[in-house]
Amino acid sequence: MFRRRRPLSPRPLRPIRRLQRRVAASRVHPGLQRLALAHEAMDRGDFLRAATLYAELADGARALGMPQAAHLSLLAGHALALAGEGRSGLARTRDGLRWLAEQGRPRRLERALVRVLAEMRSMGMAAEAKALEDEFPGANQMSGAGSPVGRVGSGRPLLPGKCPHCGGTVHPEEVDWIDEAQAACDYCGSILTVGADS
């Protein structure tokens, strides 16, 4: 005897959508994986390896017109400085700050510059910090007007300390806030959620 076949249901579309998502993720994954490797190298003190990866990622993002290029270049500069390559680090840091300036967001540049200058001075790079300060006059004047979105009255940042997707350190005062509860990671563009664990 022949069995009657059941009519096809519309459910097969779901696996296709899942496959499409997997394919899309696989296109992004190699870059995200390299970024995670760079963060890991930085955490274990392999600064030259981290700098190489950050610089490659920054240049690739720059070629694609991605805003993350600026912060990746700043990371490359910081890693080079920690590796004792002060001149190369300064050049990379300068590129990152210039790219931020090109984005036409002076407050973002201002906050990044304040952090960068503090890091450089703490590493004994006062002359390099002064050179950047002279190159970006006015950008180092924190106005402090208003409270950034996503921060409570005490000023305590609510975002995780590290991005759960790429492992990068989160600077709540510098990220792009989407709304009161979400911001974009400066390095990989993933969504960070207020109150989420790192």
5-41 pLDDT, tens digit per residue, is: 555 544 444 444 443 444 344 344 567 889 999 999 9
**Which residues are within 8 A (CB) of 124 and not within 5 positions of it... i.e. 6 or more apart?**
none
Tokens 């097969």 correspond to 12
CB atoms within 10 A of CB 189: 17
The dotted CATH code for 32-139 is: 1.25.40
Query: What's the pLDDT at 88?
Result: 94
Query: What's the pLDDT at 22?
Result: 41
Residues pairing with 183 in the sheet: 177, 192
Higher-confidence position of 155 and 45: 45
Higher-confidence position of 33 and 139: 33
**Which residues are within 8 A (CB) of 175 and not within 5 positions of it... i.e. 6 or more apart?**
159, 183, 184, 185, 186, 192
Q: What is the CA radius of gyration of the chain?
A: 21
Tell me the whole-structure pTM to 2 decimals.
0.73
What is d(CA 100, CA 105) in angstroms, rounded to the nearest whole number?
7
What is d(CA 134, CA 92) in angstroms, rounded to the nearest whole number?
17
pLDDT in tens, 58-107: 999 999 999 899 999 999 999 999 999 999 999 999 999 999 999 888 88
Give domain limits for the chain: 32-139, 157-198
